[in-house]
Amino acid sequence: LRTKVINRNISVEEFARMSAEEMASPKRRRTNELLRKHALDKTVVTSESNPIKATEPGV
């Protein structure tokens, strides 16, 4: 990113408007995505993690 700014591949104005995610390296972006997915998986209850038990005979 620094090289892109120095070489003027990215303008100073564009750089100033970039979000932290846009500034992150590809490796960091992937890590962030995995962390988001992991956090979402831990907060969303699915039928696989909490199976529904049949309470009526024959169900």
Label residues 23-56 b or e (16+ Cβ within 10 Å = b).
Answer: eeeeeeeeeeeeeeeeeeeeeeeeeeeeeeeeee
Domain positions in the chain are 2-36
Q: What string of pLDDT tens digits covers the 59 residues of the chain? A: 888 888 989 998 999 999 999 999 999 999 999 999 999 888 876 655 555 666 766 65
Q: Is the pTM above the cut of 0.75?
A: no
